[in-house]
Structure 1
Amino acid sequence: MPRPELDLTARCDCGAVTLRVTGKAVSMFQCSCENCQKVSGSGHSSVVLMPASSTALSGITKSFERPADSGATFTRHFCSGCGTTLLAHSSRAPDLRIVPAGLLAGQNDWFSPNQLIFARSHPDWDLIAEQIPRYYTYRPEKS
């Protein structure tokens, strides 16, 4: 599946923080872990995985760290004023950033997820395209 080359800027809900995203997307996927369900208010989150060097935040943000089921530390960065989630990262992949596709609303028609991870907690009422491969937790590593 082709990975888009991005050159986009997004703002939080109140406009105080800007996220700049440039470069080729590493992956585009959906996640149904229970934390993503809480943050998105839906049955999954839709995200773009980017190299850390391809993202730049400006403005005052806060972050929240929590242990993930994988044993890694998962950190979300959000606007300290309005609470909009701007990006996240995992200690499991320190050179990557997770950008919510919805943050790029109005300029994300290129988004095409290639998998659903943490399908074990995906609710039946949340409709996901049937052709997208589903993984109980993470997609298995390629050998």
Structure 2
Amino acid sequence: MAIKVTVISSDEPRRLTKRITLQNEELMTESGGHMLRGTYAVRAFETLAEFSEMLGALRTNEAMVYGVPTGPAVGVVVTKSNLAAMPKEKREGHIARSNDHFDWSDGPGIFMIDIDPPKDGPALSKESEVPLIC
């Protein structure tokens, strides 16, 4: 059975991801953009190696949703407020990037966790992180 995830591609803004730069020997982090409009598509993988390959190929305007849409497998994604403002007859094929429009797949899935170190402290090692979530 395939692992299913959803890839969101943002049209506005063109960058969703964090930007990390080195300035004066210090790492600086700039937040990603808040997506206003884009597209989504469900992707299916038979192996974690296939998933890893796709994940490594994502562009700066793409993001992962570790669930699947409750409606069609491809479409347009907009903000909740823009979706609510659309006439009902124009909403087909449009969803908001919210829990109301996504659910967990019936098959196997991927659990993603992001543990950021404290600003003034060291990052945790893999060996110390795993017991925190198990």
Question: With CA pairs under 8 Å and 6+ residues apart, which has the higher RCO, 1 or 2?
Answer: 2
Fold match by TM threshold 0.5 = no
What TM-score, normalized to structure 2? 0.26
What TM-score, normalized to structure 1? 0.25
The answer to which structure has the higher strand fraction is 1
The answer to which structure has the higher helix fraction is 2
